[in-house]
Structures are given as C-alpha cells and as structure tokens.
A = this chain, B = another copy of it.
Amino acid sequence: MHVTFEEAQQAVEAAIKKAEEVGTQMCIAVVDSGANLKAFARMNDAWVGSIDIAIKKAKTACFFGMPTGQIGKLSQPAGPLFGIEHSNEGLITFPGGLPIVNTEGILIGAIGVSGSSVENDHLVAKAGVEIVGLSDLPEHPWRT
C-alpha cells in the first residue's frame, strides 16, 4: 500500500509551512512504500546539497521502517551497524527522515527533510507526517 499523490502533496505543504514558521529553507522529499520518489520540493535558498540528502533520508526511513536518527545511533564507530551507510547506494542516518504509517499501522511511505539543523529537519519532517498519518510502526505485519 502506497501513499497517494494527494497525501504526498499535503505532507510537503505541511512541511513547507512548518519550515517557514521556523524560518528555514528546506528540501522535502516523500517516497512511497517502495522507496520510490512521489513528491519533492526545494524551497528558495535551500542548499543544493540538501536535495540528495532529503531524498536519501526518505528512502532510508522507508527502507528500515524507522526514523533515520535511530539508525544513526547504531551506525556509530563500534556500533552494531557501523558502515551501513554504504548500502543501498548511500543512506543518510542522522535525523530528518520519518516513516509514514496509516491508521491501520501499515507503512505507506516516508518523508525526508534537509536544510537546517537536524533538530529542525526532524521537526519539519514530523509536521509533514502528522498531516497524513503516524510515524510509529507496529511490530508486524506492517507492509502490504
């Protein structure tokens, strides 16, 4: 099951609104449950380098069904997932990527935000998710 285009658009719009409130310039990407790009927006003056980071955050959150920052805690030197960023043509494992989960607990996509501090990136991603669903996944089953 996949996020619809209308939901993806709403998520991007809500994220942009939050970014404007916070006074930041963001790149925002939404992928479906296949980790394939659904919608993308780069605000004026957002870093060009954030395009790829936003998309990779969305993919990373979808790939593993969890917030990107949670993976980053495990991928530190001496951590169990050290170097996981080398997989999947490049992961981004710091905060700013969140799964999008519908009310039935099904993973329908993910959002990735880049352009400011990781705290702001996370905040804006959260605003994008909340307009269309949740970001917490049940144990199983969560993908259909």
Contacts and interface: CB of A to CB of B under 8 A. Distances in A.
Interface of A: 1-2, 4-6, 8-9, 25, 32-45, 47-53, 56, 60, 62-65, 72, 75-78, 80-95, 117-118, 140-144
A44 B94 contact: no
B75 A76 contact: no
A52 B84 contact: no
Question: What is the oligomeric copy number?
Answer: 4
A48 B25 contact: no
Mostly, the A contact residues are: loop
B94 A84 contact: yes
Contact of A9 (B32, B41, B50, B78): B41
Contacts of A39: 40-42
A142 to B, nearest CB: 6
Nearest to A62: B48
A49 B91 contact: yes
Nearest to A78: B76
Contacts of A4: 44
Indicate the member of A40, A63, A82, A89 with the most B CB atoms within 10 Å.
A40
Contact of A5 (B2, B44, B75, B88): B44
A18 to B, nearest CB: 16
Nearest to A60: B49
A25 B5 CA distance: 11
